[in-house]
Structure 1
Amino acid sequence: MSLRDFKIDVPDGDIEDLMRRLRATRLPAALDAGQWDDGASLAFIQRMRDHWLNRFDWRVRQARLNRLPQYLATVDGADIHFVHQPGSGPAPIPLVLTHGWPGSFAEMERVIPLLADPAAHGGDPGDAFHVIVPSLPGFGFSAPPRAPGVGARHVAELWLKLMKGLGYERFAAQGGDIGASVSMWLARRFPASIIGVHLNYIPGSYRPPLGPGLPPVTAQEQAYLDAAAAWTSVEGAYAAEQSTKPQTLAYAMTDSPMGLAAWIVEKFRTWSDCGGDVERVFPMDELLTDISLYWFSRSLDASFRIYKENRRQPLTFEACERVAPMLGVAAFPHELPTPPRSWVERVFNVQRWTSMPSGGHFAAMEQPELLVEDIRAFFRPLRSRRA
């Protein structure tokens, strides 16, 4: 595996082009500029555009991100961008953290130091991890796929090769959103290499085996299925488009930074525990850093298309199939519809299930300390079994 140091260095021309497009933005009308019922609020988007043009400084955010130790690895002929923060402790566990959409590697910025150097943040050095945060193919500074088939199932194989290339024969996995799917695929496909898996989201595509000879769906499980269906009918349009016609969507988002911003910020507001005020949880500069990473990547088609690939290869299981590595779940109250523990235990060996007091879909950004403490607690009893 080819490995080299990496620093973010967006060309001046790309920033100038972004500013030109922002100045030339043509915004739609709205029946009520302040409401979010029809999608992103016009008043908010106007304010975001003004901030992006006049106050947001990409170079400052770039310098901040460049404090993270970043690399490019050539895996199966494609460049994968990742952060690799070695742990400070007596016996750190290698841990691969995987983001999702519309997140990025930057959403892990606050949890990386807490996991890698717990003693420096009031924790036990025995809880240290070697932290690896890759950017999904086509996200951030990872190269986009050059052929179909690169969904979460395939990404798990890329992560296995990346981790082994870094010298980690056995490692832990953690993720939310698409990162949860990748982590579950790692446990399913490569159990001998996985110490354990911790999730802060259960993918909607996860379906345990059902039917004759298997336990019937419980009332609690049926309530979850009904809630998930109701949520999809109201909130699932983005996934339907990205999983069926990602290329059509990519034309609009590749050409319009404010179109991209509206598409993304609506999800940060709806999926987070912000009480309707997205800036209560995510400062404007933090939102624009994430959106800018998508804009500068120039591979929006790939970041949408992974939904289509995941639809083609969902997390469905055969009768009597069991996944061996132990699983821990941090269930945040404002997460997308979450199944009961029994639904997950039909396939996975669930050892820890924590109902969190607050937080939503973007746990690493919303509640980094809560998430980190649950990760630490889950892996403590597994440290002695890592060999």
Structure 2
Amino acid sequence: MPINDIQPFQLSVADSVLDDLRQRLMRTRLPDEPPLAPWSTGTSVAYLKQLLDYWREGFDWRTQEAKLNAIRQFTVPLAGINLHFIHEKGKGPDPMPLLLSHGWPGSVMEFYKVIPMLTDPARFGGDPADAFTVVAPSLPGYVFSFKAGQKRFGIEEIAEVFASLMTDVLGYSRFGAQGGDWGAFLTSRLGFAFPEILIGIHLNLLAVRRDQKMMADPTPEEKAFLEQLNHFLKEETGYQWIQGTKPTTLAFALTDSPAGLAAWLVEKFRTWTDCDGDPETALTRDEMLTNITLYWITGAIGSSFWPYYARMHGPWPIPKGQTIDVPMGYVEFPKEILRPPRSVAERMYTDIRRWTAMHKGGHFAALEQPEALVEEIRTFFRHLR
């Protein structure tokens, strides 16, 4: 693909879009608080009211926009869409290309803390030999990689797009990959489908499935995991079912109401972080609202549901009985959604080189524990350079 197909990208949201957002926030109708503990039935009404007030009166979008624009971003026509991606060159003797993949309800803004540490380790007291050149695409259908009416992509198709971005567009013959949430599924799929171009994969969520051995004769660790999984399936998968079966119905509400969008996303920021009940001990208000605002200004929340729909109506991204044989590293954060034991992971990932359990952190590791995540990525890939 000709290099001139790549276009620089700068974010500039029209004042009229921000004015419309504030007007909608002023007209918010809140539900009543159920007669149970706050957050027990979903987002706390009292908390959301405070967050919406701050979004309307205190949140400075232009500051966050400038912060995002300080990162080198581009777009390129690929697979029938205009794909957005970050491309930050590493500062070291031989930077390794590293693909970072985000998930839902995330965006590339999750990586604003880790990108400088990965690309310029010496600036943070590290070894320049550990430098990476970072490529972080917006998933097709997510924020900047979305345009109304474009085709939809499941995990398998997104992995093909990302492999083409790295090799055909950017010219990297081999690269490392890292991801959490859907990014972990994508990274795992890349390791399965394109092992010849993957130096290794690093995950902070495991894309494993239940198997008969674990169900029939579980070890104590597997039994604990099954109990964890059963609780998750009963209490925490409502979002998956609606996003995976009737995504458009939900998209009407969240595309029209910023309060509804914020409520839907902030509940995940609380439930999936290591926050002891207060999401602002794990993520700042500005971090949460920057991510929410990105979904709002792009109108991409409905299309971001598509991997759930594709997953629920198609096969598991790693075919049953198949394995991922490229070198793999994993870091487990204690408040991750699910934490399968190593015995389960080894049935899918045959070459686990590093397995680390952290004492603090949750699902949004790049925001919650950026230093710990970066150190794990550096250490894992150091022996594969």
Whether TM exceeds 0.5 here: the answer is: yes
Q: Does structure 2 conserve the Cα–Cα contact (< 8 Å) formed by 1:111 and 1:372?
A: yes
1: CA distance between counterparts of 2:78 and 2:299?
20
Query: Residue 354 of structure 2 aligns with which residue?
Result: 352
Q: Does structure 1 conserve the Cα–Cα contact (< 8 Å) formed by 2:192 and 2:318?
A: no
TM-score (norm 1): 0.94
What fraction of aligned residue pairs are identical, expressed as a percent?
46
TM-score (norm 2): 0.94
Tell me which of 159, 164, 171 is aligned to 1:161. Answer: 164
Query: Residue 313 of structure 1 aligns with which residue?
Result: 315
What does 1:178-197 correspond to in 2, within 5 Å?
A: 178-197=182-201
2: CA distance between counterparts of 1:216 and 1:85?
47
Query: Residue 245 of structure 2 aligns with which residue?
Result: 244
Q: Deviations over 1:178-223 (max 9, x none)?
A: 00000000000000010000000113xx327647xxx965342243
3-state DSSP of counterpart to 1:325: coil
What does 1:127-166 correspond to in 2, within 5 Å?
A: 127-144=130-147, 146-148=150-152, 150-164=153-167, 165-166=169-170
Q: Does structure 2 conserve the Cα–Cα contact (< 8 Å) formed by 1:269 and 1:278?
A: yes
Q: Deviations over 1:228-281 (max 9, x none)?
A: 122121111111111111111100000100100000001111110011111112
1: CA distance between counterparts of 2:29 and 2:274?
31
Query: Residue 56 of structure 2 aligns with which residue?
Result: 53
Q: Does structure 1 conserve the Cα–Cα contact (< 8 Å) formed by 2:189 and 2:318?
A: no
2: CA distance between counterparts of 1:18 and 1:163?
36
Q: Does structure 1 conserve the Cα–Cα contact (< 8 Å) formed by 2:155 and 2:317?
A: no
Q: Does structure 2 conserve the Cα–Cα contact (< 8 Å) formed by 1:95 and 1:174?
A: yes
What does 1:207-286 correspond to in 2, within 5 Å?
A: 207=209, 210=212, 217-286=218-287
Q: Which amino acid aligns with 2:359?
A: P
Comparing 252-261 with 22-31, which one deviates more in the overlay?
A: 22-31
Change (3 A) 1:316 1:186: closer
1: CA distance between counterparts of 2:251 and 2:315?
22
2: CA distance between counterparts of 1:243 and 1:283?
29
Q: Displacement of 1:315 after TM fit? A: 3.4
Which runs of 5 or more residues in structure 2 are unaligned? none
Q: Does structure 2 conserve the Cα–Cα contact (< 8 Å) formed by 1:271 and 1:334?
A: yes
Which runs of 5 or more residues in structure 1 are unaligned? none
Q: Does structure 2 conserve the Cα–Cα contact (< 8 Å) formed by 1:33 and 1:43?
A: no
Q: Deviations over 1:47-80 (max 9, x none)?
A: 1111011111111110111000010011112111
Query: Residue 174 of structure 2 aligns with which residue?
Result: 170
Query: Residue 371 of structure 1 aligns with which residue?
Result: 373
Q: Does structure 2 conserve the Cα–Cα contact (< 8 Å) formed by 1:207 and 1:316?
A: no
Change (3 A) 1:34 1:231: closer
Query: Residue 64 of structure 1 aligns with which residue?
Result: 67
3-state DSSP of counterpart to 2:326: strand
Q: Which amino acid aligns with 2:89?
A: P
